[in-house]
Amino acid sequence: MGIAALILSGFAIAGTTLVALTFTGTRDIIAENERLALLSNLNALVPPERYNNELEADFIRVIDPELLGTAEPVTVYRAYRGVQIDRWTKYGCQQSPWSPGRDVLRLRHRV
């Protein structure tokens, strides 16, 4: 039984090493492919000639159960051309009080 345990341990170590090396070698490639897929989906909604910022990197998370139909934060990608919008409070948003230091906004309802 000792030999079988050693052989099984050897295969376990070899398999784990192979998975770890594969993950390390492909992590950056997978992340770049995910970024390109997201950008492709966003460009289907907003053509690239309509904005000049890094659309996939410029986003906020918004919470409004009534307007968005969920209590979970929803990611909003911000597209702009020529001018960066620094303060969303001008547009009816405020930073969520329960998440200090996080980029989560709660919509204010206007009547």
Q: What are 75's strand-pairing partners?
A: 61
| Confidence at residue 59, expressed as pLDDT on a 0 to 100 scale | 85
Q: Any idea what the Cα angle at residue 40 is, between residues 39 and 45, rounded to 5°?
A: 95
How far is it, in rounded angstroms, from Cα 71 to Cα 64? 6
| Confidence at residue 26, expressed as pLDDT on a 0 to 100 scale | 94
Write the CB contacts of 54 (distance below 8 Å, at least 6 apart in sequence). Answer: none
Kindly list the domain boundaries of the chain, sorted by start residue: 1-45, 51-111
pLDDT tens, position by position, for the chain (111 residues)?
Answer: 689 999 999 999 999 999 999 999 999 999 999 999 999 999 999 899 888 888 888 888 888 888 888 889 888 888 887 765 554 444 444 443 333 444 455 555 443
| Confidence at residue 55, expressed as pLDDT on a 0 to 100 scale | 85
| Confidence at residue 88, expressed as pLDDT on a 0 to 100 scale | 46
